[in-house]
Structures are given as C-alpha cells and as structure tokens.
C-alpha cells in the first residue's frame, strides 16, 4: 500500500477486529531512505544482492535498483523479478479485487498474489487526503473480506513509506544550484551536515556502487520546490519512515453472509440544492431488505455505507453529518428499515453537477447501491466554502500512470435517465438551444395541457440536469432557460 503510515496499520487492525482461530500481528519496520515510492516499492521485492541494494539514478534522483543486471523501476519490472524468485506470482490492483471477476479467480490460483494500492499517496498529493485516507483503508478492509470469503488464509499488509502533513508556511530550506531536490531529500556528491540538514553517505545506508550522499532536513522543513505542498515524504521523521507490517493468518476458510439489502434514495429532488453554509447538500435514504421481507430489529445489524459521486470527473464526496445513522470517519453506519438523512459536500477542480451513489462498504453484507435521480453541485475551490484542492507538485509516478482510467460519459447520456420521452425531448431542446418559450413548449408537446404538466414537473426535472436552469415570466408567457454549464 503506497504511503500507508504505521497508524493506518493500527486502524486497519481495528477494522479487522478479533478473529476466531486466527493470528493478527502488527509490527513496525523502518522504510529505506529516502522514504519515497521509487525506493520503498522497489525494495519490497527481492532486488538486494548479498544484503546490499544497488541504486539506479535518473539524473540526481534514485528511481530504482539493479537486481543482478536486471533493472527494477516499474510495477511490471517488480512482477518480473518476483516471478523469477517465486516461479509465478499473481499481481492485481486493489480495484480489480473489489470488482471481482475472472481475473481475480485466475490470479488467486497462484501461491503468492501481490495486491497494489496507490490511492493514499495519490490522494495526499492532490490535497484530498484527509477525506480519502479513511475511505481507502475501508476499501483495503473490504478487499480483505472478499479474499477471506474466497478462501485466502494468509495476508501480509505493508507499505513503502509514510508521510508528513504540513502547513505551507512551515520552514523551507534552500538548496544549491545544479541539484534536483525532492520534498524532503536531495542527493549530493558528498555528505554535508549542519544545523538544518543531515548528510549520510549512501554506502552507510546499505547501498553499493554509489559514492553520493543523501541530504535530509533534521526537522520537519522541506526543500524549496515543495514549499507549497502540504503532503510530503522522503525524509527521516518517524511519520515518514515507520511503516506497518500486518500479518493475518486464519487457520480455516470462511464463507460470507447471505443477507441481501438494498439502498433506497428519496425520489424527492427538492433536496438537491445547497443547504446552510459551505455548499452542503442533503439526501434522505434508507436500507431495506432486497427480498422485501419484513425487518426484525433483533436479527438485523446496522449496514456500513459510503457516499461517492456516481458520475463526473475527479469529484470528492465528504459526509459531514447524519441524522438517524452514525458517522465514523466518513463511514455511515445505518440501521435497516429506518430512513436517515445525510448532509454532505462535493468538490472538484471544476464546478460540475453530478449524481451521487450510496453503496455498501463491507463485503460481509450484500448491498445493492442506490443512485440519486437528482444532480448535486460539486463546487470548485474558488467557491466560498469549498475545500482547497492542492495540485500535485511532481509528475505522476509509474504507479499513477499505470492506474486505469474511465472514459467520460457522453454529454447527452443524462437524457437517457429521463423516463418520459416528451420531457426528454424538451430538455434536449433546452440543452441544444439554451431555452424554450411557452409557445415552443406547446408545439413540442402537442397541447397546452402537457405544457402545464411540464411546468409542474420543472423543479424536479431541473435537478436532474447537469447544468442549472431557471423559469422566468415574460409578457408572452413562461420561458425555461439554461443559465449555467455547471
């Protein structure tokens, strides 16, 4: 798991909880220096030779290791070197485990399977970490539940490095010209130690074939290029270096539960606007039995749920309040058979209107997700009350570049969600031409009665559009107008 701090390993132990006939052991380890992905991830696979690592450099940065003539820099190269030592190893992204399917079944036939997650590091670099960190730990826990149900009995969770969270007005260290410092480390020709920096020869750190030295801040300062960043790593602090090694061994396989629930969201679109300060929204939902059987309070445990955007690009959802359900670090613990109200915020780099999805956060319970009919505004950072979004200061890593991306939906796909073909026709006209007058509306629908029906339904329909709409009255009658692309 990229950038999983030791405390996150402790939280993962809490998620897993006591397990019958199982051994759960969490141990701290020190990440290699510098505490960056290119070092930590490539050191997790067998790249050492006689107990020493032979670093590879991209200009003045360590970007991998030489494993006996084979260069290991990328996930694909890590898999090759692992296959050479183990015969054959499975390799999956965390999303592939959660999605299930034939590839998961095929890879689980191997004696060793590596499951890779980069979302903690990615969320930290993009400024959404405090919202996304708990969510990613729950996704890891859900993957463990699925693999446990599939018969896997031995798990090892570990990381490449941790991280620091800082303020942009914290201390900054200037660096010499001609060097290429990262946030918390820089490679120099020789070690230089002073009140601000600690210099260590790479040979003293267990590296062979290199006479350079690693410079790191003694405290929590960063080098100048990272002065605007709030999420950093690469240095020697406990937060960056102490990583978890969590071992979970089950003596026997176990199956999942057969409980089947579904999430129902209110069809009332009147709650899709903002409520109160900070651009927040409200949503009423309930968890019910999918088989429509009566729920008994004594035999139904609460269901764990999470909220996310169902469409749009780069939207972060944060639940900030619950009525009728419990909220634990973004996890919604909802009773079965009773409605509850969520208050939440959405943010993205560009303002957009999206639907939201409430879905099960545990593999132990089968929960059909609920997707809202209404669209809610995801506010950009410039909007008052929206969270700041901090752009990544570095180019994407090999892991981030290899992550699968989804093709954006077509601009007209939202029209397919409208059940009534007459309403679809009118909304398509507004989307294309910007407005429709009352006279045009009657012509489109065929008579005045249908135009009046559209007028009564307009408030509900405009909440389902990916742009903002208004109705105004002019001497010739009503005009329904598109007022924003967001």
pLDDT in tens, 291-303: 665 544 444 688 9
- Whether residue 11 has pLDDT greater than 80: yes
CATH of the domain at 374: 2.60.40.10
Vertex 373: Cα angle to 406 and 291 (nearest 5)? 95
Contact call for residues 282 and 341 (beta carbons, < 8 A): yes
- Same domain, residue pair 244 and 272: no
Q: What pLDDT shows up at residue 394? A: 42
pLDDT in tens, 30-86: 999 999 999 999 999 999 988 899 999 988 899 999 999 999 999 999 999 998 888
Of the residues 190, 216, 250, which one is the last residue of a structural domain? 250
Of the residues 199, 224, 250, which one is the last residue of a structural domain? 250
- Same domain, residue pair 275 and 307: yes
- Same domain, residue pair 156 and 63: yes
Q: What pLDDT shows up at residue 279? A: 79
Helices (H) and strands (E) in the chain, counts: 12, 30
Considering the domain boundaries, does residue 390 fall inside one?
A: no
Considering the domain boundaries, does residue 199 fall inside one?
A: yes
pLDDT in tens, 174-192: 876 656 789 999 999 899 8
Range(s) of the domain holding residue 43? 6-250
- Whether residue 310 has pLDDT greater than 80: yes
Give the C-alpha separation, 369 to 173, whole Å.
Answer: 49
Considering the domain boundaries, does residue 386 fall inside one?
A: no
Give the C-alpha separation, 350 to 45, whole Å.
Answer: 39
74-83-3-182 Cα dihedral, nearest 10 degrees: -30
The two three-digit tokens of residue 191, written as one number:
């070690």
- Same domain, residue pair 215 and 313: no
- Same domain, residue pair 355 and 454: no
Of the residues 200, 228, 250, which one is the last residue of a structural domain? 250
pLDDT in tens, 98-125: 988 889 989 988 889 999 999 999 999 9
Q: What pLDDT shows up at residue 292? A: 61
Q: What pLDDT shows up at residue 476? A: 82
The two three-digit tokens of residue 184, written as one number:
């918390």
Considering the domain boundaries, does residue 403 fall inside one?
A: no
Q: What pLDDT shows up at residue 20? A: 67
Contact call for residues 430 and 480 (beta carbons, < 8 A): yes
Q: What pLDDT shows up at residue 410? A: 52
Please state the φ and ψ torsions of residue 427, each to the nearest 5 degrees. Answer: -65, -35
- Same domain, residue pair 88 and 167: yes
- Whether residue 403 has pLDDT greater than 50: no
pLDDT in tens, 119-152: 999 999 988 888 899 999 999 999 999 998 888 9
| Residues of the chain above pLDDT 90, percent | 46
Considering the domain boundaries, does residue 30 fall inside one?
A: yes
- Same domain, residue pair 350 and 427: no
- Same domain, residue pair 352 and 318: yes
- Same domain, residue pair 242 and 168: yes
Number of domains into which the chain is organized: 3
Average pLDDT, the chain: 85
């Amino acid at each position: 798991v990229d950038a999983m701090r030791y405390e996150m390993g402790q939280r993962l132990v809490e998620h897993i909880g006591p397990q019958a006939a199982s051994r759960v052991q969490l141990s701290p380890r020190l990440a290699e220096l510098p505490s960056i992905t290119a070092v930590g991830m490539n050191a997790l696979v067998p790249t050492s030779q006689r107990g020493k690592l032979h670093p590879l450099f991209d200009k003045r940065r360590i970007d991998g290791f030489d494993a006996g003539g084979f260069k290991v820099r990328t996930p694909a190269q890590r898999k090759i070197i692992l296959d050479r030592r183990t015969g054959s190893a499975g390799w999956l992204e965390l999303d592939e485990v959660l999605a299930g399917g034939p590839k998961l079944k095929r890879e689980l036939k191997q004696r060793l399977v590596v499951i890779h997650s980069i979302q903690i590091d990615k969320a930290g670099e993009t400024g959404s970490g405090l919202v996304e960190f708990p969510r990613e730990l729950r996704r890891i826990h859900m993957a463990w539940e699925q693999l446990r149900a599939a018969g896997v009995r031995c798990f090892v969770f570990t990381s490449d490095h941790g991280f620091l969270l800082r303020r942009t007005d914290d201390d900054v260290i200037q660096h010499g010209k001609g060097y290429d410092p990262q946030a918390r480390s820089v490679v120099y020709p020789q070690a230089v130690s002073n009140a601000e920096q600690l210099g260590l020869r790479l040979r003293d750190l267990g590296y062979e074939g290199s006479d350079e030295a690693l410079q790191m801040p003694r405290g929590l300062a960063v080098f100048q290029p990272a002065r605007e960043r709030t999420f950093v790593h690469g240095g020697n602090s406990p937060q960056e270096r102490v990583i978890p090694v969590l071992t979970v061994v089950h003596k026997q396989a176990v199956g999942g539960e057969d409980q089947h629930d579904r999430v129902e969201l209110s069809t009332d679109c009147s709650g899709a606007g903002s409520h109160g300060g900070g651009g927040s929204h409200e949503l009423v939902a309930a968890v019910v039995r999918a088989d429509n059987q009566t729920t008994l309070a004594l035999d139904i445990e609460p269901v764990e749920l999470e909220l996310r955007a169902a469409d749009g690009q780069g939207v972060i959802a944060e639940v900030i309040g619950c009525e009728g359900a419990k909220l634990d670090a973004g996890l919604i613990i909802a009773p079965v058979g009773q409605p509850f109200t969520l208050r939440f915020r959405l943010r993205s780099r560009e303002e957009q209107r999206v639907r939201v999805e409430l879905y099960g956060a545990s593999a132990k319970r089968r929960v059909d997700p609920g997707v809202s009919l209404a669209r809610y505004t995801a506010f950009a950072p410039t909007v008052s009350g929206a969270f700041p979004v901090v752009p990544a200061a570095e180019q994407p890593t090999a892991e981030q570049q290899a992550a699968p991306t989804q093709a954006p939906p077509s601009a007209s796909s939202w029209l397919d969600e409208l059940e009534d073909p007459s309403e679809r026709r009118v909304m398509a006209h507004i989307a294309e031409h910007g407005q429709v007058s009352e006279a045009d509306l009657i012509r489109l629908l065929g008579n005045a009665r249908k135009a009046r029906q559209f007028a009564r339904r307009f408030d509900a329909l405009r909440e389902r559009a990916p742009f903002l709409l208004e109705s105004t009255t002019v001497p010739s009658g009503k005009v329904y107008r598109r007022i924003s692309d967001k």
